[in-house]
Amino acid sequence: MEKQIQALQEILDRGKRIVFFTGAGASTESGIPDFRSVDGLYQQQYDYPPEEIISHHFFESNPKEFYRFYRSRMLYPNARPNAAHRLMAELEKTGRCLGVVTQNIDNLHTLAGSQHVAELHGSIMRNYCVNCHHEEGLDFILKTEDLPRCPVCGGLMKPDVVLYEEALDEAVMDRALTWIQQSDVLIICGTSLSVYPAASMVRYFYGDQLVVINKTATSMDKNADLHILAPLAETLAQLHV
């Protein structure tokens, strides 16, 4: 492991256009559970499968059950950035990190100080009325009970997160793809690369060094110049900018 950390440090030191591609594993060490691990949400028992609850059709047909699950299992307002988020933010300040492409909706990258973040699946921090598009922050959802209603028109509020059956935002995708294509170092971290179309974006990397850091195997391990099978924050905490 020591040799791997040294090799990763050397890659970071040489990199001039670094991009991080992060998934749920970037936030588990901040106390936010992922979906697909042994203890993840998909392994727990609910009246409906989690992947059905967080789908577009379920939100429309059963918003009360959607919000019961969403508030109890997907909102962690007290979570704070860990060593991984902080290192990415510090690297951005040096001008050598183009940005962070994340599948996470928890806002921890921004909270850590990263300013160039492409949130492929949206953010819990933003919510909008499905009728008049009035916007509210996370506190509005946390303070309301039952169904959150728009204070302007009374319509149902929806989190600005990409549910199953919904398309990713094209502008966010374009920004993320541009960063990946321009990067000389791509670090895929904390993701099993099992959620599409987000996972397919890493195939557009044409740079020099591909790094994969994850606790479990991914589809890109065989392509990586450096593969580290370990928790992300624990790994990046050993590096310096």
Q: Which residues are known catalytic residues?
A: 121
Q: What pairs with residue 156 in β-bridges?
A: 149
| Whole-number Å distance between alpha carbons of 206 and 183 | 8
Segment holding 38, helix H or strand E: none
SS (H, E, C) 112-181: HCCCCEEECCEEEEEEEECCCCCEECHHHHHHCCCCCECCCCCCEEEEEECCECCCCCHHHHHHHHHHHH
Contact 14, 92 (CB under 8 A): no
Q: First CA to last CA across the chain, in angstroms?
A: 19
Contact 191, 200 (CB under 8 A): no
